[in-house]
Amino acid sequence: MTRSAIWALSLLLLASGCVKKAEGERLMAQAQEHERRITALEEGLATERRELGEAVAQAHQKVEELQQVLTEATAVVTRNSADVGAEVEQLQQQLSTLEGQLAELQNALRETRGLVDRQGEQLGQQLRRFARSAGVDVALEESEIPTDPAAHLAAAQAALSAGQGSRARALFQAYVRRHGSDEHADDAQLAIGQSYLTDGQPARALGAFQKVMHDYPRGDTLDDALLGMGNAFFALHACTDARSALEALIRTQRRSPLVRRARAKLREIRRAPASACTS
């Protein structure tokens, strides 16, 4: 029932005398209360509708803003993707170019290394030959040393006979190093000292002869080593030490065929001028 209908009914009842005054007043009060409530409901509904309209408008605005942002973002991503794709393609081209240049450099480097290695080997061989011809001891390459002990010793003796003292000593030293317990090792060590003495290096010869006595005290080359030491000491003008070595040979190696040579060397030392001996 609407407000106008309620008011019309109340007035009609009062006018017709169908209701008492008190009852009429009660009905009027109820009508007013209904009107107040209806008014409040209408006002609340209107407020809610207004707020709902505002919320809907705000929602539309947000949707439009989001749509705009999405549109701009899509454009940016599309543009950036195109830019990145172009940059990636450019980098790939640069990378391919650099890879080609790197391959060329690596190939040139390999060729250069091979050339340097070959030239270095040739130069090393020339330097070793020059050093040996000058009497300088130079270590041999492993490929220059025979693997068979007999062939090794034969090669050393052949070099010594040919006057190649440096090469002979290198081969003898390698023999002692490889076959130190062999029965010919002391002969090889002795040959090193004798070669030094022949090449006019008595100080080095002394070291080699002393090694014979130290490393092979029971060998059959002690008499040779003592004789060599006597000769080396005399070459160094150390006459006292020379006599000591020769006298030791005569005293300890009485059956040696070198005793006669030792005695002859002692006579030579005794007859030598004073300038020949510094000690």
At 171, list the tokens.
Answer: 């081969």
Q: Report pLDDT for 243.
A: 94
| Average model confidence (pLDDT) across the chain | 79
- Final residue of a domain: which of 73, 98, 125? 73
- Taking only the tens place, the pLDDT of each residue in 181-231 is 889 999 999 999 999 999 999 999 999 999 999 999 888 999 999 999 999
188/64 same-domain check: no
- Taking only the tens place, the pLDDT of each residue in 90-117 is 777 777 777 777 777 777 778 777 776 7
Q: Report pLDDT for 266.
A: 93
Q: Which domain holds residue 149?
A: 142-276
How much is the pTM?
Answer: 0.54
241/146 same-domain check: yes
Instruction: Count how many domains the chain has.
Output: 2
59/171 same-domain check: no
26/147 same-domain check: no
139 neighbors 171 (Cβ within 8 angstroms):
no
Q: Report pLDDT for 31.
A: 65
- Taking only the tens place, the pLDDT of each residue in 221-266 is 999 999 999 999 999 999 999 999 999 999 999 999 999 999 999 9
262/148 same-domain check: yes
- Taking only the tens place, the pLDDT of each residue in 42-81 is 776 767 777 766 766 676 677 677 777 667 766 666 665 5
Residue 216 lies in a domain: yes
